[in-house]
Amino acid sequence: MKPYQVIFHLDEEPVEKVTFVLNNVINLLDDLGRENVDVELLVNGPAVKAFKAENGSISELISKVLSQEVVIALCNNALNSHDLDPAEMLAETIIVPSGVGELVRKQTEGWAYIRP
């Protein structure tokens, strides 16, 4: 287990917000060191639309985050409510049954919660 465990929460869709959160993740990793922190980005609500496979506007930033072993978890309930098929989403993401449930599980395990 690494000294730090952090879960970021993203539930807003505008590209500016998604970019802001992804940059926050990168800044944290730069500060604490990739070897010292486990990071998960939990995405629910309309923000799941930003993680469709063909979304090119932020793909470079997402690739940078993924290359640093950040887990991107998408809420299955949000996918269903926005009529998105998990097969349409970035292959590197994982699907969790419920975003809220994932946040509760991580916080119960002692993960720090960040909602930029």
Q: Which residues sit opposite 72 in a β-bridge?
A: 41
| DSSP single-letter state for residue 51 | G
Q: Which residues sit opposite 40 in a β-bridge?
A: 7, 71
Cα–Cα separations (whole angstroms), residue 2 to 27, 31, 43, 109? 18, 15, 23, 13
The pTM score is 0.96
* Spatial separation of the C-alpha atoms in residues 38 and 6, rounded to whole Å: 6
pLDDT tens profile 74-113: 999 999 999 999 999 999 999 999 999 999 999 999 999 9
Among 63, 19, 79, 74, CA closest to 41? 74
**21 pLDDT exceeds 80?**
yes
The mean pLDDT value for 23-43 works out to 98
Cα–Cα separations (whole angstroms), residue 46 to 7, 77, 89? 18, 11, 13
pLDDT tens profile 55-72: 777 888 999 999 999 999
For each of the domains in the chain, give its residue range(s) and CATH number, in order of start. Answer: 4-114 (3.40.1260.10)
Share of the chain above pLDDT 90, in %: 92
The torsion angle over the Cα atoms of residues 70, 71, 75 and 79, rounded to 10 degrees, is 80
